[in-house]
Structure 1
Amino acid sequence: MTKKHIDACIRESLETYFKDLRGAEPHAIYDMVIQVVEKPLLDVVMQHADGNQSRAADWLGINRNTLRRKLVDHKLIK
């Protein structure tokens, strides 16, 4: 999957979101998108890293402590 494909999927999803609003004003779109994208991103990366947080953090380009906090926030670990 290329960056272009991911971009196209996100654009299509956002267009559907706006259609589904049927003229209603959107609210806090940025936070909503980040929340919706971040959890599956973390979950899939952790699976491919075989649960190794250091490896996953490196792949994501974030600090291991930041990864751990995000995993807890999304209830992917306790």
Structure 2
Amino acid sequence: MKEHTLEECVRHTLERYFRDLDGESPSCIWDMVQTAIERPMLEVVLQRAQGNQSRAADMLGINRNTLRKKLDHYQIKF
């Protein structure tokens, strides 16, 4: 089984998204992609950090207050 990088997966998914638009004009791509990536990233990192927000924030390279704001924004409970 061939392994893919995250970058390759995102590129492939975006190319498929544009194909599937079938001539329609895209909009809000930045928000769509950010939401699609950020939420699962936060969930997986928090799971890896066993719910420890300080450790998760360190893993993400952001401060704990920023992490808490993002968790509130996405309504992620741990």
TM-score, length of structure 1 as denominator length: 0.91
Distance 1:7 1:19 in 2: 18
Aligned to 1:22: 22
- The CA deviation string for residues 18-73 of structure 1, in whole angstroms up to 9 with x for no partner, is 01100101001011100110000000000000000000000100010010110111
User: Alignment RMSD, CA only?
Assistant: 1.3
Structure 2 unmatched runs, 5+: none
Note the 1:35-54 alignment, pairs <5 A: 35-54=35-54
AA of the residue aligned to 1:39: R
Distance 1:8 1:36 in 2: 15
User: Structure 1 vs Structure 2: percent identity of aligned residues?
Assistant: 53
Aligned to 1:12: 12
TM-score, length of structure 2 as denominator length: 0.91
Aligned residues: 75
